[in-house]
Structures are given as structure tokens and as C-alpha cells.
């Protein structure tokens, strides 16, 4: 038998309830295989910060490193100053564990209503860079709070960092049917970073001659995501553009309740982390209203990453079947989770 040694960071708000259902589906998917799951729950998030002032200590990080993968719910709470948990916990995990591929699939499942009148077929994946860009926290302000304040956020783009994520995106495109890669940036304004990305895509393309490429400025990309999302296959882009585009991608494919993501360390020098794209939604937390589907689809990505392709496919198929039959029926978080676990076990 093999054991999946899983670190669980449920976090804040609805993170707690959706992770509970995600874990139930994970157990159901592995039933009848020789694999087992052992879990370590990490108390991280708002409660821990209020109690101790800590976000993520070196000891937490060391303990997490010893696991095969991380399942994360959501981080953030209105009682904690904006940025403290985001930077001190979520981004610290992504950076420290070198999650340079932030993988965010966007698929319009059958039975799901898009807000677009004629969405067509939507099935693309965003490869969002995860360890650089404006997210590095390389900034500062002077004369803070005065009329003469100057506040800078520096976007860091290294040849090393851009090349490794671009190569990963090409490999993903090469493995897909349409084999098409779109670089999204803003090289008409952000000329230094933009041209580094453009040159890198051109250079790495030589290694993947059967992949076609094109380029969109990020503002134009938002237009096409609305008017012709079928044109996209794989999008590669920087950390901040990827953050924004993947919320739009979630919206056109039925909403943030269905959007899964994987923070991948492709070199496997540290555990990868799987989390719904949505946040902690404190306004509905604890009411059983949250849709656990995004977390369940993140569990499917986790299974796939760890080599359980068949079990991953079972989870995705269960979600697909559930979405076809869902209609306008309203079920609680636990009801949806139980239904999905049941389908997976069938
Ligand atoms: C996301 C979130 C995070 C991000 C926040 C909470 C730091 O919006 O996962 O998309 O900006 O990456
Ligand atoms: Mn986001």
C-alpha cells in the first residue's frame, strides 16, 4: 500500500466547510485502491493570528514541507488587517515552497450556465506565474500619509523565473489537442518585463515546434475572454495578470464556486498546494451555503499530481454528472459533498 501524507490548511471562513467535503471525496476516490490518506491539520489563519500573532512560523513551514501535498481552503478574515494573512501565510507558502506554476483550468461544464449569451465551448487553462511579478513585496512608501507620499510596488521578473514557467506552459500546450499558447502581458507599456516574456516565449517555442503561439495585451485579453473565450487553449502570464484573468475565467464558466487551482512545484523539491480560487467568504461562512465543488475539483488536481490519474478522472466525472443534474436545485455544502462522494464511490 502507499500512503498520501496530506497537510490540511482549512484556514478561514468557508475554507473549513469546503475542505471537510473535499476530504470526504478524496477518501471516497481512494476506496478500493491500495492507497490510504493520513492528514495533518495545521491551525493557520485568523484564529491563530489573534491568539498568537503568528501567521506561518518556520516550524510550521518545516512541518508542512514533510508532506506529499497540501489541501488549502481559504485564507482571510475582516478582523485581520488586509495583507497580513495574504502575505504572511498564503503567499509565503507559495513563495517558500516554490510554487512557480499556478495552474487554473477554466472549463464550462455541461449543464452550467455561463453569464455570456453565447459562450460556445470554453476549455482552457491559465498558467499563472506564482513566485515573481508584483507579488514579491519588493516595494515601499516614503512620506507615508502625507500629500507627498510616494508608494512603489516593484514587479520582479527574472530570466530564470520566466523561462521555467514558460517552458511548463509550452509542455502543457504540447500535450493538449489544440497545442496553442497565448502569452498575455502589456509589453507596449511594461517594456522591460514585457519584452523579457515575449523573447522567452519566442526562444522556448523552438523546443516545441508543434505548438502555435500568439500574444495579447492584457486589456485585449479581457475583451476576448468575454466575446470569444473558445479561442483560448493555454494562457501563460505573470502573477498579477493571472490573478485578474482567472477571476474573469471563473465568472464566464459558471462562477467562483466551481473554479479549482493548483500551486505546483514541478521540480518536486517541496509539496504542491491545491486550493479553490475563491476566498473565505465571511458573509456566508458557517451557513452551509458554500459550494464545495471548487475544492473537490482541486482534489482531482491533487490526485492527478500524485499519480492517481484514474481516481482523479473519477472525481472530475462525478462533478460533471452532478453539474448536469444540478439545475436550479439548492443544496447545502454537506449535501453536495455527500452526493459527490457517493458518485465517486459508485
Ligand atoms: C488568489 C487570491 C490571492 C492572490 C490573494 C488572496 C493573495 O486572490 O488565489 O487568486 O492574489 O493570489
Ligand atoms: Mn485572486
Q: pLDDT band for position 327 (50/70/90)?
A: confident
Catalytic residue of the set 77, 98, 107, 186: 186
Q: How far apart are the CA of 241 and the centre of ligand 2, in A?
A: 10
Predicted local distance difference test score (pLDDT) of residue 33? 94
Contacts of residue 11, Cβ cutoff 8 Å, sequence gap at least 6: 19, 44, 45, 72, 73, 74, 75, 76, 280
* Atom 7 of ligand 1: nearest residue by CA position: 86
pLDDT (tens digit per residue) in 146-205: 999 999 999 999 999 999 999 999 999 999 999 999 999 999 999 999 999 999 999 999
Q: Is 281 annotated as a binding residue?
A: yes
Structure confidence by residue, pLDDT tens digits, 211-231: 999 999 999 999 999 999 999
Work out the mean pLDDT of the chain and round it to a whole number.
97
Answer yes or no: is 60 a known binding residue: no
Ligand 2 centroid to Cα of residue 27, in Å, is 28
Q: Which ligand is nearest to the CA of 72?
A: 1
Alpha-carbon gap, residue 346 to 324, rounded angstroms = 17
Mutation pick for ligand 1 pocket among 92, 243, 275, 294 (CB with most ligand atoms within 8 Å): 243
For residue 298, the model assigns a pLDDT of 98
Whether the pLDDT of residue 239 is over 80: the answer is yes
- The CA 257 to ligand 2 mean position distance, Å, reads 13
Name the pLDDT band for 343 (thresholds 50, 70, 90): very high
Alpha helix stretches (DSSP H) within the chain: 15-30, 46-52, 58-65, 84-85, 92-96, 159-174, 191-205, 218-227, 239-252, 293-305, 309-326, 333-345
What is the rounded distance in angstroms from the CA atom of residue 11 to the CA atom of residue 82? 15
Residue 98 in contact with residue 120, Cβ under 8 Å? Answer: no
**Structural domains of the chain in order of their starting residue, each with its CATH number:** 1-102+262-346 (3.40.718.10), 114-253 (3.40.718.10)
Which residues have C-beta atoms less than 6 Å from ligand 1?
A: 76, 86, 90-91, 243, 277
Answer whether residue 1 shows pLDDT above 80. no
Q: How far does residue 143's CA lie from ligand 2's centre (Å)?
A: 30
Which atom of ligand 1 lies at the shortest distance from residue 247's CA? 10
* The model's pTM: 0.97
Least confident of 1-5, 28-32, 63-67, 253-257: 1-5
Of all protein residues, whose CA lies closest to atom 12 belonging to ligand 1?
A: 243
Q: What is the pLDDT of residues 36-70, one digit of tens each?
A: 999 999 999 999 999 999 999 999 999 999 999 99
Compute the C-alpha angle 231/234/237, nearest 5°. 110
| CA distances in angstroms from 173 to 143, 285, 311, listed in the order given | 47, 37, 23
State yes or no: is 123 an active-site residue. no
DSSP state of 332: -
Tell me, yes or no, if 62 is annotated catalytic.
no
Measured by CA distance, the residue closest to atom 8 of ligand 1 is 243
30 has pLDDT over 90 = yes
Q: What is the pLDDT of residue 346?
A: 86
Per-residue pLDDT tens for 90-148? 999 999 999 999 999 999 999 999 999 999 999 999 999 999 999 999 999 999 999 99
**Which ligand is the nearest neighbour of the Cα of 277?**
1
Amino acid at each position: 500500500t502507499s500512503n498520501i501524507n496530506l497537510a490540511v490548511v482549512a484556514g478561514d471562513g468557508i475554507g473549513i466547510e469546503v475542505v471537510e467535503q473535499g476530504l470526504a471525496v478524496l477518501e471516497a476516490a481512494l476506496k478500493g485502491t491500495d492507497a490510504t490518506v493520513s492528514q495533518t491539520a495545521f491551525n493557520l489563519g485568523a484564529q491563530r493570528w489573534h491568539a498568537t500573532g503568528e501567521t506561518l512560523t518556520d516550524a510550521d513551514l518545516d512541518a508542512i514541507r514533510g508532506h506529499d501535498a497540501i489541501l488549502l481552503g481559504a485564507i482571510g478574515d475582516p478582523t485581520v488587517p488586509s495583507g497580513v494573512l495574504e502575505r504572511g501565510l498564503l503567499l509565503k507558502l507559495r513563495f517558500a515552497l516554490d510554487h512557480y506554476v499556478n495552474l487554473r483550468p477554466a472549463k464550462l461544464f455541461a449543464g452550467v450556465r455561463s453569464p455570456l449569451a453565447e459562450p460556445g465551448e470554453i476549455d482552457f487553462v491559465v498558467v499563472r506565474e506564482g513566485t515573481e511579478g508584483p507579488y514579491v513585496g519588493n516595494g515601499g512608501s516614503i512620506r507615508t500619509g502625507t500629500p507627498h507620499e510616494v508608494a512603489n510596488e516593484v514587479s520582479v521578473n527574472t530570466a530564470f523565473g520566466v523561462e521555467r514557467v514558460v517552458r511548463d506552459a509550452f509542455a502543457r500546450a504540447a500535450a493538449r489537442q489544440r497545442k496553442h499558447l497565448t502569452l498575455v502581458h502589456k509589453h507596449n507599456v511594461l517594456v522591460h518585463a514585457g519584452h523579457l516574456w515575449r523573447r522567452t516565449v519566442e526562444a522556448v517555442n523552438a523546443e516545441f515546434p508543434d505548438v502555435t503561439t500568439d500574444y495579447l495585451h492584457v486589456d485585449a485579453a479581457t475583451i476576448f475572454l468575454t466575446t470569444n473565450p473558445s479561442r483560448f487553449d493555454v494562457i501563460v502570464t505573470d502573477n498579477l495578470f493571472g490573478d485578474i484573468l482567472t477571476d474573469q475565467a471563473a465568472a464566464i464558466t459558471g462562477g467562483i464556486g466551481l473554479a479549482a487551482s493548483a500551486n505546483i512545484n514541478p521540480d518536486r523539491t517541496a509539496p504542491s498546494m491545491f486550493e479553490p480560487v475563491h476566498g473565505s467568504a465571511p458573509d456566508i461562512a458557517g451557513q452551509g451555503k458554500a459550494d464545495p465543488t471548487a475544492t473537490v475539483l482541486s482534489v482531482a488536481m491533487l490526485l492527478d499530481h500524485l499519480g492517481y490519474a484514474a481516481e482523479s478522472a473519477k472525481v472530475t466525472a462525478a462533478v460533471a454528472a452532478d453539474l448536469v443534474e444540478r439545475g436550479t436545485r439548492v443544496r447545502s455544502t454537506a449535501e453536495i459533498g455527500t452526493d459527490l462522494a457517493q458518485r465517486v464511490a459508485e
